[in-house]
């Protein structure tokens, strides 16, 4: 047998893939070929010839590829040996779940008769009738499950409009706001809705961290063209938490070019971020400019009414019995975000299920006591911490925000950083901002230093504790 040295995956394959995908929405043949190529490269030459080389691509339908195999025995072997791996590769390449249907082609050259039906798996059958869930999206994150209130009205309506007509009105769409306010939920609602109404669309959801890792790994494996092929053929690209983008030029450049390719082809992009894009220091101006190009909308913490409505809805869908009075208590005490509200009812539910007890207002207060005080932590401002610590050391708040590095200032300043980290929910980046625009690594370093010193010098801890007590009392009274 002639040695089959298959050409390595070529860069120009990318252009072919993009063109094919764009010209024919149901044509998965390029994904099939690419998947088989990758798989062949992973297996020995003999194995690859024996099995993979004899599967013939036949046609594509919605979420389905039909392939031809020579016999029932062959089909069973291929299924047990490779089906999982092939389907996994197809998800990676296409961003959507594609099932494989086998047809047995009796004689070599004979055309397939549509009546020779190989047994079709149940899942393959069902995918052609009803749309299965998108493999990258959380099926619960839908518009139906999202409560619209004053805090998210604009963002939710824009998201809905985009899901109805992706790529036409606001591109890109960027949702920003604090943790637990529903950014990921809204972002994925767009994906879920488009997937339901247009299952042929290639939707990719990725967290910024994973985008970066995937890109770096693709370089290490010399598979950058696959990375490009995956992202630049998306119809809808959803990138979550872009604030965690790294300074690495390569990743930023790749994202920039991906953006341009999709933008030029009127493909919808949606991003989320924990702050306005203008406040991400790490990104280049040209990338920032792209993010800000479309529509940027913020999410605010929910009002009392919205908190109540959200909890009611969750409780209903979870089928737990929590009386309105308990919901009121929770809504009065947890004002931070929706995730904290969810944690509270999760705890109550667990308690009532495990202990077999009814949830009463008393149980609610008792069980969530610690929780209420923790979620109120964010109410203490860093400003207050800076003020209190500075005055304890006979300094001013201004001293902490300036660049001075003398020991008399920097040690108290580090204590204030440490306390900020301990008793508030602010991120080190946010804390850095409050300390005169210092980098988050400076904050981490400061906190580490204080916690080290506290271990070696027993006089420090009582001071820190006393300061925390004072700040908390001050915070509650303000
Ligand atoms: P973020 O991405 O902003 O940190 P998430 O989207 O993860 O927040 O939301 C946290 C949790 O709160 C999720 O379980 C989400 O379903 C829920 N949630 C947030 N906002 C709403 C809302 N308006 N209606 C219903 N659930 C919500
Ligand atoms: Mg999120």
CA-based angle 408:410:415, to the nearest 5?
105
- Which numbered atom of ligand 1 lies nearest the CA of 313? 25
What mean pLDDT is predicted for residues 103-131? 45
Q: What is the pLDDT of residue 471?
A: 86
Q: Which atom of ligand 1 is nearest to the CA of 141?
A: 16
Counting runs of H as helices and runs of E as strands, what totals does the chain give? 22, 8
Answer whether 182 contacts ligand 1 (Cβ < 6 A). Answer: yes
Residue located via tokens 């089959």: 4
Ligand 2 centre distance from Cα of residue 186 (Å) = 9
Q: What spacing in Å lies between the alpha carbon of 429 and ligand 1's midpoint?
A: 22
Task: Kindly report the number of other CB atoms within 10 A of residue 332's CB atom.
Answer: 12
The whole-number pLDDT of residue 122 equals 38
Residue 71 — left, alpha, or beta (φ > 0 → left; ψ -120 to 50 → alpha)? beta
Q: 156 in ligand 1 pocket by Cβ < 6 Å?
A: no
Cα(206) to ligand 2 centroid in Å equals 11
Cβ of 309 closer than 6 Å to ligand 1, yes or no, is no
Ligand 1 close to Cβ of residue 179 (< 6 A): yes
Scan for tokens 């069973």, then name that residue: 76
Contact of 30 with 15, CB cutoff 8 Å: no
State the alpha helices, DSSP H only, in 424-459: 428-434, 440-456
Hey, which of 183, 190, 334, 339 would you mutate to test ligand 1's pocket, going by the most ligand atoms within 8 Å of its Cβ? 339
Could you identify the atom of ligand 1 that is nearest to the CA of residue 274?
3
Distance of CA 328 to the CA centre of its chain: 31
Output phi, psi for 175, to 5 deg. Answer: -105, 125
Q: Is the CB of 14 under 6 A from ligand 1?
A: no
In this model, does residue 6 exceed pLDDT 50? no
Neighbours of 244 (CB within 10 A): 16
pLDDT, mean of residues 284-309: 93
Q: Which two tokens stand for residue 251?
A: 């990743």
Ligand 1 pocket residue status of 199, Cβ below 6 Å? no
SS3 of residue 142 by DSSP: coil
Cβ 338 under 6 angstroms from ligand 1: yes
Q: Is the CB of 229 under 6 A from ligand 1?
A: no
Alpha helices in 70-179 (DSSP H): 72-94, 122-129, 153-164
Least confident of 39-53, 332-346, 408-422, 445-459: 39-53
Which pLDDT belongs to residue 14? Answer: 55
Of 70-79, 163-172, 326-335, which gets the smallest average pLDDT? 70-79
Pairing of strands 56-61, 64-69: antiparallel
For residues 354-373, average pLDDT: 89
Ligand 1 pocket residue status of 203, Cβ below 6 Å = no
Tokens 């050391």 sit on residue: 393
Ligand 1 centre distance from Cα of residue 251 (Å)? 28
Nearest CA to ligand 1 atom 19: 182
Atom 16 of ligand 1, residue of closest alpha carbon: 185
pLDDT single digits (tens) 180-226: 999 999 999 999 999 999 999 999 999 999 999 999 999 999 999 99
The pTM is what?
0.61
How do residues 85-99 score in pLDDT, each as one tens digit?
Answer: 999 988 888 888 889
Predicted pLDDT of residue 10: 45
Exposure string for 20-35, b = 16+ CB within 10 A, e = fewer: bbeeeeebbbbbbbbb
- What interhelical angle do 324-333 and 304-318 show, nearest 10? 130
How many angstroms separate the alpha carbon of residue 467 from the centre of ligand 1?
35
Q: Is the CB of 183 under 6 A from ligand 1?
A: yes
| Angle of the 460-477 helix axis to the 382-392 helix axis, nearest 10 | 130
If you average pLDDT over every residue of the chain, what do you get?
A: 85
Residue 161: both structure tokens together: 């409009």
User: Is pLDDT at 258 greater than 90 in this prediction?
Assistant: yes
Cα separation, 297 vs 14, in Å, equals 34
The answer to whether residue 459 scores a pLDDT higher than 90 is no
Q: Tokens at residue 253, please?
A: 């450049």
Q: What is the pLDDT of residue 429?
A: 86
Q: 179 with 339: CB under 8 angstroms?
A: yes
Our answer on whether the CB atom of 378 is closer than 6 Å to any ligand 1 atom is no
User: What end-to-end distance do the CA atoms of the chain give, in Å?
Assistant: 84
Q: Whose alpha carbon is nearest atom 4 of ligand 1?
A: 180
- Please list, residue by residue across 183-210, b when 16 or more beta carbons sit within 10 angstroms of its beta carbon and e when fewer do: bbbbbbbbbbbbbeebbbbbbbbbbbee
CA dihedral 324, 328, 334, 339 (to 10 degrees): 20
Q: Contact at 8 Å (CB) between 415 and 423?
A: no
Buried b (16+ CB within 10 A) or exposed e, 282-318: ebeeebbebbeebbbbbbbbbeeebbbbbbeebbeee
């Amino acid at each position: 047998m002639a040695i089959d040295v298959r050409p390595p995956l070529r860069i120009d394959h990318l252009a072919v893939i993009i063109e094919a995908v764009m010209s024919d929405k149901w044509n998965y043949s390029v994904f099939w070929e690419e998947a088989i190529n990758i798989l062949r490269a992973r297996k020995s030459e003999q194995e690859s010839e024996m099995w993979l080389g004899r599967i013939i691509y036949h046609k594509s339908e919605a979420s389905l590829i039909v392939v031809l195999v020579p016999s029932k025995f062959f089909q069973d072997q291929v299924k047990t040996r490779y089906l999982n791996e092939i389907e996994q590769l197809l998800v990676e390449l296409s961003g959507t779940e594609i099932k494989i249907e086998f047809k047995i082609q009796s004689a070599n050259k004979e055309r397939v008769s549509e009546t020779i039906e190989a047994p079709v798996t149940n899942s393959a059958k069902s995918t052609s009738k009803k749309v299965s869930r998108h493999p990258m999206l959380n099926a619960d994150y839908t518009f139906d499950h999202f409560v619209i209130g004053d805090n998210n009205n604009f963002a939710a309506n824009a998201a809905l409009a985009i899901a109805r007509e992706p790529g036409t009105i606001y591109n890109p769409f960027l949702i920003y706001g604090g943790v637990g306010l529903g950014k990921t939920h809204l972002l994925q609602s767009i994906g879920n809705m488009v997937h339901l109404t247009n299952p042929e669309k290639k939707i990719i959801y990725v967290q910024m961290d994973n985008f970066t890792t995937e890109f770096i790994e693709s370089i290490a494996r010399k598979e950058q063209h696959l990375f490009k092929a995956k992202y630049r053929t998306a119809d809808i690209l959803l990138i979550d938490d872009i604030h965690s983008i790294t300074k690495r030029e390569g990743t930023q450049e790749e994202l920039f070019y991906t953006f341009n390719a999709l933008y030029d082809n009127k493909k919808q992009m949606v991003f989320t971020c924990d702050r306005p894009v203008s406040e991400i220091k790490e990104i280049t101006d040209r990338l920032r400019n792209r993010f800000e190009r479309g529509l940027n909308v913020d999410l605010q913490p929910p009002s009392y009414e919205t908190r109540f409505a959200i909890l009611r809805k969750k409780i209903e869908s979870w089928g737990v019995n929590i009386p309105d009075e308990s919901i009121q208590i929770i809504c009065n005490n947890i004002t931070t975000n929706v995730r904290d509200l969810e944690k509270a009812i999760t705890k109550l539910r667990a308690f009532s299920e495990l202990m077999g007890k009814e949830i009463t207002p008393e149980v609610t207060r008792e069980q969530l006591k610690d929780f209420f005080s923790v979620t109120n932590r964010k109410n203490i401002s860093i400003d207050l911490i800076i003020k209190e610590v500075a005055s304890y050391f006979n300094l001013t708040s201004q001293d902490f925000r300036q660049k001075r590095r003398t020991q008399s200032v920097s040690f108290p300043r580090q204590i204030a950083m440490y306390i900020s980290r301990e008793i508030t929910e602010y991120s080190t980046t946010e804390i850095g901002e409050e300390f005169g625009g210092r980098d988050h690594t400076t904050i981490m370093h400061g906190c580490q230093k204080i916690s080290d010193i506290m271990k070696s010098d027993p006089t420090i801890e009582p001071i820190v504790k006393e300061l925390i007590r004072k700040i908390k009392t001050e915070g509650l009274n303000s």
